[in-house]
Amino acid sequence: MKADERGAAGSRTPGRATRGETVPTVPPASQAARRTAVDVSALLERGRTLASPVLRAAVDRLAPPMDTVAAYHFGWIDAQGRPADGDGGKAVRPALAVLSAEVTGAAPQTGVPGAVAVELVHNFSLLHDDLMDGDEQRRHRDTVWKVHGPAQAILVGDALFALANEVLLELGTVEAGRATRRLTRASRALIDGQAQDISYEHRDRVSVEECLEMEGNKTGALLACASSIGAVLGGADDRTADALETYGYHLGLAFQAVDDLLGIWGDPEATGKQTWSDLRQRKKSLPVVAALAAGGDASERLGEILAADAKSSDFENFSEEEFAARAALIEEAGGREWTAEEARRQHTIAIEALDAVDMPDQVREQFTALADFVVVRKR
């Protein structure tokens, strides 16, 4: 789908800026209010509880020192090797993987090897991406390459990637083979997305379409896999798995749109990131790209300012006010509102994809509740 066929920034009148909110709450309140029966925290907790011990057992299989390096990465130990109670993240992917098993009538447990494999692939990509991008911090901690060196970051990333396939294939079933094939496809997309991300860094301009394609690869593909892998392990046919992948892919795009909003306007207390985090990193995220594509005075001024910033040797020392001014310009050009609208749009496509799948009502409600959670979250 081309960006301009879907109401991308270029073809829209920049929306009026929604001021005064620190945290963007994307879907209309009515929509979120409609569904209150599902306890999303419990759903996330279930995925975490089921997947964690199996994930830990898998990582324990790694030969030293890779097991220790991986345990540090996952936040189970600190840099000195002492037990730590790491921030395991939101755990949306494991929740989706075990939920998707229930689509076929299987027990949530059926999805666990899928949940673990997806987490392993996700963390393989984090280890390698942090090194490639030179990122020194993740989840408030030094990244693996900073603590254990680049070689360990490469090696342990490789090991987690291999382990992901191992965890699935040792099930020895036809379903496991199909699940691994889908996971492999998602992994390739992840790698493609990182390749795009790297190449975009060296370019002045990135189109909305390119940005969405990159985000689809980096975030959509693995959420697609997470949303279907339990079902595949439970014996779902390809049509069902594909529809669940469509749900997950668009949920991933909604997720990323919200992430991009939080990356600029998020509350540092909630996100744990610096103010204007993505602007400080000169990230060509959706709000920026959409604002630049929107045309008009604010858009043009923003383009000039960012072009000057790219050459500035003083960028590191910019004040809060200077970043705030850029954020205001992005908002004025319509980049914030367009991205919020895009999150809503992708959220809707995701929910609608569920219509193609026959599943218990309760499971459908839980998929919907997880989608709502993704777009209203504050971190």
- Which residues of this chain interact with a copy of itself, rule CB under 8 A? 63, 65-66, 124, 128, 131-132, 150-151, 154-155, 157-159, 161-163, 165-166, 169-170, 172, 174, 176-177, 180-181, 184-185, 187-188, 191-192, 194-196, 198-199
Which is closer to a copy of itself, CB of 189 or CB of 261?
189
Nearest CB to a copy of itself, comparing residues 221 and 302 = 221
Q: Smallest distance from the beta carbon of 176 to a copy of itself, in angstroms?
A: 7
Give the nearest distance from C-beta 333 to a copy of itself in angstroms. Answer: 30
Our CB check for a copy of itself shows the closer of 198 and 308 to be 198
Residue 355 Cβ vs a copy of itself, minimum distance, rounded to whole Å: 28
Min dist CB 147 to a copy of itself, Å, is 16
- In the bound complex, what is the minimum distance in angstroms from residue 57's beta carbon to a copy of itself? 15
**DSSP letter (8 states) at residue 17:** P
Which residue has 């060296």 as its token pair?
202
Distance CA 171, CA 189 (A): 24
CB of 78 or CB of 158, closer to a copy of itself: 158
Q: What SS3 class is residue 141?
A: strand
223/292 with CB nearer a copy of itself: 223
Residues near 326 by Cβ (< 8 Å), separated by ≥ 6?
A: 276, 279, 302, 305, 306, 309
Residue with structure tokens 């504050």? 378
Q: Which is nearer to a copy of itself, 74 or 124 (CB)?
A: 124
CA distance to 63, 211, 283, per residue, from 205 (Å) = 44, 10, 11
43 to 48, 79, 98, 351, 373: CA distances (angstroms): 9, 31, 10, 17, 11
Question: What letter represents residue 3's amino acid?
Answer: A
| Shortest distance (Å) from residue 303 CB to a copy of itself | 26
Where would I find the H helices in 170-295?
A: 174-201, 208-215, 221-233, 238-265, 268-271, 277-280, 286-294
Query: Cα(53)–Cα(320) distance, rounded to whole angstroms?
Result: 43
Given the complex with a copy of itself, which of 155 and 305 has the nearer CB atom? Answer: 155
Minimal distance, residue 125 CB to a copy of itself, in Å: 8
Candidates 345, 349, 366, 371; CA nearest to 12 is 345
Question: Looking at this protein, which amino acid is placed at residue 209?
Answer: E
Residue 263 CB, shortest distance to a copy of itself, in Å, is 22
- State which residue, 241 or 370, has the beta carbon closest to a copy of itself: 241
